[in-house]
Amino acid sequence: MALVLNDEQTMLRDNARGFLAKNAPIAHLRALRDNRDADGFSRALWKNFVQMGWAGILVPQDYGGLGLGHVEAGVVMEELGRTLTPSPFLSTAVLAASAIARAGTDQQKENYLPKIVAGELIATLAVDETAKHHPEKIAMTATRAGNGFKLSGAKTFVIDGHVAKLLIVVARTSGKAGDTAGLTLFLVDASAPGVRSERTSTVDTHNAARITFDDVNASADSVLGKIDAGWDVLEGVLNVGRAAVAAEMVGASEEAFSRTVAYLKERKQFGKAIGEFQALQHRAAHLYCELEVTRAAVLKALQTLDDSYDRAGAIVSVAKARAGLSATLAVNEAVQMHGGIGMTDEFDIGLFMKRVRVCQELFGDSNFHADRLARLNRY
């Protein structure tokens, strides 16, 4: 497939960009932060997303969704990255919708997907237990009890975990931490007895929570996919999340970069625009190259998820690793080239640095994905 957006994808991008610039510019994030908004996102804005069909972007048309692909989801993520807009798009429309659509029974799909499409259900994936992403080291247990299971353990940095009504929880039904076998996914009601969630205040003012599970009942019907064999489903969903977050970083870093290039043309020192200094020109040109190279990898990763979902692991790792590194370079250079004003809270550029730091950690940082690629290539 050609590594360019087709006409429909380009139109989606233009519409998303126009809509977000008008309705959710960076001032929107600042207002949520400064008012200490209890939800941390705007339900009115999420309703708009729902009306545009974004909540069901990955949901098959049979369940009322748009039935589009990962490239389209990535297009929206990239635009959300440009405006740093907090929303349940990643947790609900990307992670949860894709997990249920891929692995759910007909009944589970019928129960949840139309609600996601209608904006009636915020759902998320609860996977990480430690400060660094190590999905195979999941220790949370699901022990058999009658016809069902009892879940015990703790999850950290669950995206939108403070507002989600449905949690897709990965727990161990057999084996030990470190084994990829023995993991099972459960669909858990966030209001079930024994579930406790504590909102995490994060550097980027986006949304996450720590959630503890204390002997939480999960029925046999709540198993998503197969018992003990959840790893493949999990890997697939994580790959979708990784590629989506990489796309978000492409948006955030390109916006930070274009603001920086504009500043290089405006800001005068020593009687000329600082963009005339070759010391800055070469760094800006190098950064441009890094961002272009990342963009190709991220688009390829999204296309591969659409074409050959089960073989996307390597290219997704390439995309996530590259996006993490080039976005980190972009935001660091952005603050440095803006100088003193770049350090002020009043100026927006620092907000990009904060969000990129979070995206770098989500679902594995660049080191995690370099290691994963090396393993896949057997060295």
Partner 1 sequence: MENLENFRKETRAWLEANCPPEMRRSSQSEDDTCWGGRHWKFQSDAQRQWLERMAAKGWTVPEWPREYGGGGLSREEAKILRQTMRELNCRSPLDSFGIWMLGPALLKYGNEEQKREHLPKIARGEIRWCQGYSEPGSGSDLASLQTRAEDKGDQFLVNGSKIWTSYADKADWIFCLVRTDPNAPKHEGISFLLFDMESAGVSTKPIILISGSSPFCQTFFDDVLVPKANLVGKLNKGWDIAKYLLTHERDMIGGMGTTSENRSLGQIAADTVGSHNGMLADTALRSQIAAFEIDALAFRLTMDRAGDMAKVGHAHPAVSSLLKYYGTELNKRRMELVMSAGGTDALEWEGERSREGRSARAWLRSKANSIEGGTSEVQLNIIAKRILGLPGA
Q: Which chain residues interact with partner 1 by CB under 8 A?
A: 2-4, 261, 264-265, 272-273, 275-276, 278, 280-282, 284-286, 288-289, 292-297, 299-300, 315, 317-319, 321-322, 367, 369-371, 373-375, 377-379
Written as one letter, the residue type at 156 is T
CB 361 to partner 1: min, Å: 18
Q: 43 or 375, CB closer to partner 1?
A: 375
CB 373 to partner 1: min, Å: 5
Q: How far are the Cα atoms of 6, 284, 297, 300 from residue 3, in angstroms, in the given order?
A: 9, 24, 9, 7
Q: 105 or 258, CB closer to partner 1?
A: 258
CB 158 to partner 1: min, Å: 28
Q: 184 or 294, CB closer to partner 1?
A: 294
Structure tokens at 306: 């659409």
Q: 191 or 278, CB closer to partner 1?
A: 278
CB 288 to partner 1: min, Å: 6
First-last CA distance in the chain: 30
Q: 75 or 218, CB closer to partner 1?
A: 75
Q: 171 or 280, CB closer to partner 1?
A: 280
The interaxial angle of helices 7-23 and 43-51, nearest 10 deg, is 160
CB 359 to partner 1: min, Å: 17
Structure tokens at 159: 């995206």
Among residues 362, 321, 25, 44, which one has the least CA distance to residue 202? 362
CB 165 within 8 A of CB 190: yes
Q: 170 or 245, CB closer to partner 1?
A: 245
Q: 195 or 247, CB closer to partner 1?
A: 247
CB 53 to partner 1: min, Å: 26
CB 244 to partner 1: min, Å: 18
CB 281 to partner 1: min, Å: 4
Distance, in Å, from the CA atom of 165 to the CA atom of 216, rounded to the nearest integer, reads: 15
Q: 167 or 250, CB closer to partner 1?
A: 250
CB 318 within 8 A of CB 302: no
Residue 215 backbone zone (phi > 0: left; psi -120 to 50: alpha; other: beta): left
Q: 26 or 273, CB closer to partner 1?
A: 273
CB 321 to partner 1: min, Å: 5
CB 60 to partner 1: min, Å: 27
